[in-house]
Amino acid sequence: MWFWAHIGFIYTVGRLPIDDTATPLPARDIFTFLSAQDCINFLRFSREQIIITVQHLCVPDMIRTDCGYVIAGRTALCVLLYRLAFPCRYKDMRLIFHRSDSCLCETFNYMLHFMNETWGSMLTLDLGRLVPRLDFFAERLQTWGCPLPNCWAFIDGTVRAICRTIREQRAFFNGHKRYHAIKLQSVVTPDGIMVDLFGPELGTRHDVHLLHESGVLVMCQEHMNSASGDPYVVYGDPAYGMSTHLNCPYSAEAYGPLSAGMIEFNKQMSACRVAVEWVFKEMTSKWAFVALKNQQKHLLSPIGVRTVHPQLLERGQRDLPVFRVPTAVVRGVPGCCVRLYAERVLFPFVCGRGIATMNGRRTTTTVLW
């Protein structure tokens, strides 16, 4: 008898009308609601950094999304930071920003595409800034114990897991990691700056494919040479192989039994090359949204932009007063100096039928220290 009583209760509850209408909330200024410490905890930026960032990125005072939502530019940036800082739902964010779920979603996507369209051409190696500093980078690495002369940067690839795709599952499935993913390639200098980030590419692609598609090696061959003609080299893992401008560890397959000197060389270079691994670690530790696999849905959201944009934020937070972009870069904004986001301001994003790459990615932009 008790069984049928429970079944009747469940059936009765299931037939009750459910009011899922969002509770109307008055508009709220996020700066007055969050304390100074809360801004750092939830947005990863201080109030002062957010204000400067809005000005230097030329974010409009008021933005209007495709669906007609109007929101302040500073609040829109806070929506972007809050969403990327930690996995959360738009329903949770509604209680903080006092905006509807659809408004927050539209604002988040608007800011992603705004960054992509405005600063997307500044993703490649900045030759104007890097070439004069190659000697300095090589000297600093040797000071830190790097046994490889003329080494100025480290290169590596990373794999970011995504949801199982509806279409083209084989193209995204990474056999080594055993999950669907996209791949990225980064070049990191000794000062901890990611000077080049290429991607995303399909999870099945090899690191060598990303190397050739990015054009990094070609640019190094053309511009990364000393006055005497000696090449400045980039150091990577054995998957990249050896070339005049790219070096890798000694391997038993290529050199046979390794000598004590070769083993010591590999050990010292490994201690230096860990810098490129730490860059990826910082991105996932401070911007945990990119590590949430269930939110990275191909064909439903711009997963490429979501995955790589936090690295830009991390770079800007650590080196706010570093970069200056000429006025010509920001058209229509006389005297604008952008000291933030000048290295890796957004990337090609996944959309439509596959992965779209940004046109004109190899456009060189002068950035001065």
pLDDT tens digits, 206-218: 999 999 999 999 9
Average pLDDT over every residue of 95-117 = 89
| pLDDT tens track for 224-253 | 998 888 999 999 998 898 999 999 999 888
Give the residue with greater pLDDT, 31 vs 301.
31
Domain-embedded: residue 182: yes
Residues 95 and 53 in one domain: yes
- Burial class of residue 49, CB neighbours in 10 A (0-12, 13-18, 19+): middle
Q: How many angstroms separate the CA atoms of 214 and 194, rounded?
A: 14
Read off the amino acid at residue 172: F
Last residue of a domain, one of 87, 119, 151: 119
Report if pTM > 0.85: no
Instruction: Output the pLDDT for position 222.
Output: 93
Total domain count for the chain? 2
Domain-embedded: residue 178: yes
Residues 137 and 189 in one domain: yes
Q: How many angstroms separate the CA atoms of 317 and 44, rounded?
A: 8
Domain-embedded: residue 351: no
Instruction: Output the pLDDT for position 322.
Output: 36
Residues 217 and 306 in one domain: yes
Of all helices (H) and strands (E), which one includes residue 174? strand 173-174
Query: Rounded to the nearest 5°, which phi and psi values hold at 16?
Result: -70, 140
What six digits make up the tokens of 89?
A: 């739902």
Domain-embedded: residue 143: yes
Domain-embedded: residue 35: yes
Residues 163 and 304 in one domain: yes
Residues 109 and 131 in one domain: no
Residues 309 and 210 in one domain: yes
Give the residue with greater pLDDT, 366 vs 44.
44
Domain-embedded: residue 369: no
Residues 107 and 133 in one domain: no
Instruction: Output the pLDDT for position 278.
Output: 83
Residues 303 and 266 in one domain: yes
Model confidence at 313, in pLDDT bands (50, 70, 90)?
low
Average pLDDT over every residue of 129-139 = 92
Q: Helices 90-97 and 73-85: crossing angle, nearest 10°? A: 140
Instruction: Output the pLDDT for position 283.
Output: 80
Domain-embedded: residue 9: no
Residue from 197, 192, 120 nearest 156 by CA: 197
Instruction: Output the pLDDT for position 348.
Output: 25
Q: Are 177 and 166 in contact (CB under 8 A)?
A: no
Residues 165 and 112 in one domain: no
Last residue of a domain, one of 69, 89, 119: 119
Residues 153 and 297 in one domain: yes
Give the structural domain span for 35.
24-119
Residues 214 and 297 in one domain: yes
Residues 211 and 164 in one domain: yes
Instruction: Output the pLDDT for position 25.
Output: 64
Task: Say what percent of the chain tops pLDDT 70.
Answer: 72
Residue from 84, 88, 146 nearest 290 by CA: 84
User: What are the Cα distances from residue 269, in Å, to 275, 279, 320?
Assistant: 11, 17, 30
Last residue of a domain, one of 65, 92, 119: 119
Domain-embedded: residue 349: no
Residue 336 pLDDT greater than 50, yes or no: no
